[in-house]
Amino acid sequence: MNILAQKCKELLLKHNINVLSEIDFDINGEINTLSFEYIIDAYMKASHESQLVFLTALERSIKAEDDGARKFFEGMGQLLLLIHLSKNIEV
């Protein structure tokens, strides 16, 4: 496992956040569910610099407020889904 991915998951555990927590996204009436773990793993496929940015942003979101981690993963999940959808659009 990627070291930075492991750090992300350990950070969640340290703050009593279940890495298997899930967020539902409604896209055109279809529910798509992404777990925190899936979102972490997806972003850890990016460049090392992007991985560091992700980890830093996660750390800051957890410190920011009680629901900061959930909001962070909602935003990151939305971005993943938008990227996926844009690759499937025929122009």
pLDDT digits (tens, 9 = 90+) for 14-28: 999 999 999 999 888
**pLDDT classification of 88: cutoffs 50, 70, 90:** low
* Predicted pLDDT of residue 90: 55
* Predicted pLDDT of residue 86: 73
Q: Provide φ and ψ at 59, rounded to 5°.
A: -60, -45
* Predicted pLDDT of residue 5: 95
* Predicted pLDDT of residue 36: 97
- Tell me if 11 sits within 8 A of 18, measured CB to CB: no
Distances (CA, A) of 72 to 1, 7, 33, 79, 90: 22, 16, 15, 11, 30
* Predicted pLDDT of residue 55: 96
Tell the residue number behind the tokens 């496992």, with chain if given.
1
pLDDT digits (tens, 9 = 90+) for 40-71: 999 999 999 999 999 999 999 999 877 889 99
Q: Quote the DSSP letter at residue 90.
A: -
Interatomic CA distance for residues 30 and 89, integer angstroms: 16
